């Protein structure tokens, strides 16, 4: 099994154990499962998971849970991937997310995140969110914010999501980060 950056965010994923955090309709986990990964997707949206479950490849399962409160699937995972969940976590709950999710990584495993980009589409600051109590559709992060928030991991690549890769969802208002856990 090997996960690494080759000419994109991820290279070979066959055989990897993957946790898809906030998997929604499972599109990312499905992509990984179809390339040989063993994927568990977790999401609050039980009804969405019920709809998608019968359509999933055999190597992907999904569980309805709150990543901030409920018992999580046991690690270690070679890859933990979060596309669009972390930016919905309120600022004061981010430490809870980090304390619960990052220990699930295998030594040398990868953590990938896609989140709203503060450089590309500015959103309310943490102070504004905390004083108003309104997450206003999600937080946005500078690439430097991602580097700081995930400073317990080794940054491998931090950049705006590309919008020129055919067959991928390359929205130009997103940032992507790939980090490695200590070996």
User: CA–CA separation, 106 vs 75, rounded Å?
Assistant: 7
Touching ligand SAM, residues 79-98 (CB under 6 A): 83-85, 88
Cβ atoms of 24 and 45 within 8 Å: the answer is yes
CB of 28 to ligand SAM, least distance (A): 5
162 touches ligand SAM by CB under 6 A: no
Q: Is 161 in the site for ligand SAM (CB under 6 A)?
A: no
Region near ligand SAM per CB under 6 A, out of 7-15, 54-62, 64-72, 173-181 = 64-72
Name, in order, each residue with C-beta under 8 angstroms of 145's C-beta and a sequence gap of 6 or more: 118
Interactions with ligand SAM, residue window 26-45 (CB under 6 A): 27-28, 42-45
Beta carbon of residue 76, minimum distance to ligand SAM (angstroms, whole number): 20
Q: Are 108 and 80 in contact (CB under 8 A)?
A: no
Shorter beta-carbon distance to ligand SAM: residue 67 or 158: 67
24 binds ligand SAM (CB under 6 A): yes
- The DSSP symbol for 125 reads -
Measured CA to CA in angstroms, residue 82 lies from 88, 90, 130, 154 at distances of 11, 15, 23, 17
109 binds ligand SAM (CB under 6 A): no
């Amino acid at each position: 099994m090997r996960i690494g950056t080759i000419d994109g965010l991820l290279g070979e994923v066959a055989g990897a154990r993957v946790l898809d955090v906030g998997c929604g309709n499972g599109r990312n986990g499905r992509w990984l499962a179809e390339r040989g990964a063993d994927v568990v997707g977790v999401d609050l949206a039980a009804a969405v998971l019920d709809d998608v479950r019968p359509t999933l490849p055999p190597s992907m399962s999904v569980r309805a849970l709150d990543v901030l409160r409920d018992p999580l699937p046991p690690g270690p995972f070679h890859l933990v991937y979060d596309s669009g969940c972390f930016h919905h976590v309120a600022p004061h709950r981010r430490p809870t997310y980090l304390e619960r999710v990052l220990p699930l990584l295998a030594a040398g495993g990868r953590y990938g995140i896609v989140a709203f980009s503060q450089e590309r589409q500015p959103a309310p600051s943490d102070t504004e969110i905390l004083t108003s109590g309104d997450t206003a559709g999600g937080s946005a992060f500078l690439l430097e914010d991602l580097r700081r928030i995930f400073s317990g991991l080794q940054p491998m690549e931090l950049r705006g999501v590309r919008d020129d890769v055919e067959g991928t969802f390359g929205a130009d208002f997103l940032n992507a980060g790939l980090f490695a856990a200590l070996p």
